[in-house]
Amino acid sequence: MPHCTRQMIAVATIAFGFVVTLAGSAQAQGNSSLGTWKLNVAKSRYDPGPAPKSDDRVYEAWEGDGVKTTFTSVSADGTRVQTSYAAHYDGKDYKYTGAKGRDAVALKRIDANTTESTLKLGGKVVQTTRTVISNGGKTLTLTSSAGIGRDGKKSNGNVSVFDKQ
In the chain, where are the structural domains located? 1-30, 33-164
The answer to whether 150 touches 103, Cβ cutoff 8 Å, is: no
| Answer CATH for 33-164 from 3.20.20.150, 3.40.50.170, 2.40.128.20, 3.40.50.1820 | 2.40.128.20
In the chain, the amino acid numbered 96 is: Y
The answer to whether 152 touches 158, Cβ cutoff 8 Å, is: no
Q: What pTM value is reported for the model?
A: 0.79
Sign (positive/negative) of CA torsion 48, 107, 135, 140? positive
Q: What is the pLDDT of residue 10?
A: 44
The arithmetic mean of pLDDT across residues 8-18, rounded, is 43
- Looking at per-residue pLDDT, the higher value among 72 and 7 belongs to 72
The arithmetic mean of pLDDT across residues 79-84, rounded, is 96
| Nearest partner of 76 among 144, 163, 139, 151, judged by Cα | 151
